[in-house]
Structure 1
Amino acid sequence: MSHSKGGLVILNEMVNNLPPSERKIAQYIVSNPEEAIHLTAMALGEKSNTSSAAVIRLCKSLGFKGFQELKIRVTGDLQDQVVKGYRDIQQNEEYMDIIDKVTANTIQTLKETVDIMDGKNLKKAVTTLSESKSILFIGVGASHIAAKDAEQKFQRIGKETQALSDVHTAATLIANKDPRDVVVGISFSGETLEVVKLLELAKQKNTKTISITKYGNTPLSNFADIQLFTSAAREATFRSGATSSRIAQLHVIDILFMCLASEEYDKTVKHLDETRDAILFLREDPTKKNKRSDPDD
């Protein structure tokens, strides 16, 4: 997977969580991206009244291999002219304008989520899910919608999967898990206490753990063996975690499912055919079936 974009997205999402010197550098890059990509670490340190060492620390804080990767990803963002930023609705706004804004916000969130996705971590997550004995998805509130969607998808291809929002039931199940099982914690903020505690419990049981959160170091991602991120999707007045960020979570679930389906193509097709036949069987009218099989009709 290409890592040529997402630099400005990550900087914007992490800037308020950085130490003072690193924050100054991040703010300078965001305000002057065209100039920053042509500077050396030393020059950028001077421009931002910090140091080259602070620039290197910033790259490490952002999860980049070095300053060169940061510049490459910012350059990729500058070449992409689609980015327009998030737009909030207004009072008594025309419906067609609202449609345009909601659609644009969703597209922006999905694009940013893809731009910051780590291909290596995605591969690890797919392999872990493929080799698992069972999968438990945990999310509360809007994140539970993504967990239930994952449950439905993975059950259809023969995976022993559950999605829970009740913490007591989830804790009981996790207590009997082992390294062959996987627990996936879903939380937009990465700070939902119930989900964090359940992933911590899973770590204590040596169960494999995966987190799906907004980008950055969060309590939930810190307990995950594998970290997957969505765009932070800066929140506007009427666009809470139940809208664009939920769609970003669903998008990550779709990507996991499709990658796993590709890895296990023949098995997946077989399971999907069987589940499709099962649904068609339920839709058959038993009275019509009996009439067709009655020789006296």
Structure 2
Amino acid sequence: MIGENIQGRIRSIINELSNSEKKIGELILKIPSEAINMTALELATRAGTSPATVIRFCKSIDIPSFTQLKVKLSSEIESPTFEGYFDIKANEPVHEIKAKLLGNAYQSMKETIEQLNDQRIDEVVDVLLHAPIIYVYGIGASHLVAENISQKWNRIGKPTTCATDPHILISILVTAPKEAIFIGISNSGETKEVIRLVEIAKSYKIRTIGLTQFGANSVAGKVDYSIQTVRSKEAELRSAATSSLHAQFIAVDALFYTYASKQYDSSISMIRNSKEEIKKYMR
């Protein structure tokens, strides 16, 4: 059974919670095995807060109720997982650097898969299936993810535009057809260009999807559909940038393969055709 990375979610936003919610989070992380057998009142009393705070805390980590939190946390405790991200050290052997990179990549992808909500993935895929065209935008490392989305969906027959210039994209958005989709990618969820493009898209009745890290952020709060990846800890030499890319890529893969599965025959046919044409071109 795949959990939903409850403890990872708590750790990733613990310092952004209110003081009372933070007490709940810290207590759950300290005594997870006991917490799953407590009522909301018992947990609140132990943490020195209120049952209402427990409910607010659940909402903050995107879990509908305390009962569901306990169920998901219970399955997580029964199947303990590797925890932590590691940065390199001075004069470190190559084999240790490779092991750390592999561990970071696995950790970020595993936690993201656990965190992704199946129903939300299905909802987003259904919207994409009915869209005549997809517009996607990201800056810096997020642009690599945007290009990945464009390449994947174009290859199976869904017109997808990945613009590099926001001014050009704005001129495209204002003439977008009905049911078009805009996907804004920002790991922090606070990239001002992405936020502004989401606002413009929504003003023209374009449905919007955001791909951000887990937690409350501006992009997630403005889009119609929010897909969130695990929040990797920042590392001094930016290995976390690599981890966040791995998380974003696997989230995109989850969307893409769910989409392709729903149109399996046509998707396979188009992928085969594109492979054949590329082979002919390379001869």
TM-score, normalised to structure 2, is 0.96
Distance in 2 (CA, whole Å) between partners of 1:177 and 1:71 is 45
Structure 1 residue 240, shift from structure 2 partner:
4.8
Aligned to 2:273: 274
Structure 1 residue 4, shift from structure 2 partner:
3.3
Structure 1 residue 131, shift from structure 2 partner:
0.8
The amino acid across from 1:228 in the alignment is: I
Q: For 1:110-132, what per-residue CA distance to the aligned partner results, in whole angstroms no more than 9, with x for missing partners?
A: 11101111111100111111111
Q: For 1:186-234, what per-residue CA distance to the aligned partner results, in whole angstroms no more than 9, with x for missing partners?
A: 1110001101110111111111111110111211011211111100011
- Judge conservation of contact 1:132–1:181 (CA < 8 Å) in 2: yes
Distance in 2 (CA, whole Å) between partners of 1:258 and 1:55 is 36
- Judge conservation of contact 1:3–1:73 (CA < 8 Å) in 2: no
- Judge conservation of contact 1:5–1:75 (CA < 8 Å) in 2: no
Aligned to 1:197: 196
TM-score, normalised to structure 1, is 0.91
**Which deviates further from its counterpart, 15-24 or 47-56?**
15-24
Q: Which runs of 5+ in 2 are unaligned?
A: none
Aligned to 1:105: 104
Between Structure 1 and Structure 2, whose CA radius of gyration is higher?
1
Aligned to 2:44: 45
Instruction: Flag the 1:73–1:196 CA change in 2: closer, same or farther, 3 A.
Output: same
Structure 1 residue 59, shift from structure 2 partner:
1.2
Instruction: Flag the 1:107–1:194 CA change in 2: closer, same or farther, 3 A.
Output: same
**Which deviates further from its counterpart, 274-283 or 237-246?**
237-246
**Which deviates further from its counterpart, 25-34 or 170-179?**
170-179
Aligned to 2:82: 83
Structure 1 residue 77, shift from structure 2 partner:
2.3
- Judge conservation of contact 1:143–1:186 (CA < 8 Å) in 2: yes
Aligned to 1:176: 175
Aligned to 1:212: 211
Partner-residue secondary structure (3-state), 1:238: coil
Distance in 1 (CA, whole Å) between partners of 2:220 and 2:246 is 19
The amino acid across from 2:110 in the alignment is: K
Q: For 1:119-146, what per-residue CA distance to the aligned partner results, in whole angstroms no more than 9, with x for missing partners?
A: 1110011111111110011100000001
Aligned to 2:149: 150
Q: For 1:165-196, what per-residue CA distance to the aligned partner results, in whole angstroms no more than 9, with x for missing partners?
A: 32111111111124410001111100011011
Aligned to 1:127: 126
Partner-residue secondary structure (3-state), 2:162: strand
- Judge conservation of contact 1:134–1:160 (CA < 8 Å) in 2: yes
Distance in 2 (CA, whole Å) between partners of 1:102 and 1:121 is 30
Aligned to 1:291: none
Structure 1 residue 67, shift from structure 2 partner:
0.3
Aligned to 1:114: 113
- Judge conservation of contact 2:132–2:177 (CA < 8 Å) in 1: no
Q: For 1:74-120, what per-residue CA distance to the aligned partner results, in whole angstroms no more than 9, with x for missing partners?
A: 22222233323111211000110011111101101011101111111
The amino acid across from 1:49 in the alignment is: G
Q: Which runs of 5+ in 1 are unaligned?
A: 285-297
Structure 1 residue 241, shift from structure 2 partner:
5.1
Aligned to 1:290: none
- Judge conservation of contact 1:215–1:231 (CA < 8 Å) in 2: yes
Is structure 2 residue 207 aligned with structure 1 residue 238?
Answer: no
The amino acid across from 1:225 in the alignment is: D
- Structure-to-structure mapping, 1:218-233, within 5 angstroms: 218-233=217-232
Aligned to 2:93: 94
Distance in 2 (CA, whole Å) between partners of 1:176 and 1:9 is 42
Distance in 1 (CA, whole Å) between partners of 2:15 and 2:267 is 43
- Judge conservation of contact 1:144–1:164 (CA < 8 Å) in 2: no
**Which deviates further from its counterpart, 244-253 or 54-63?**
54-63
Partner-residue secondary structure (3-state), 2:241: coil
The amino acid across from 2:115 in the alignment is: I
Structure 1 residue 160, shift from structure 2 partner:
0.5
Partner-residue secondary structure (3-state), 1:243: helix
Root-mean-square deviation over aligned CA pairs: 1.4
**Identity, % of aligned positions:** 33
Instruction: Flag the 1:179–1:14 CA change in 2: closer, same or farther, 3 A.
Output: farther
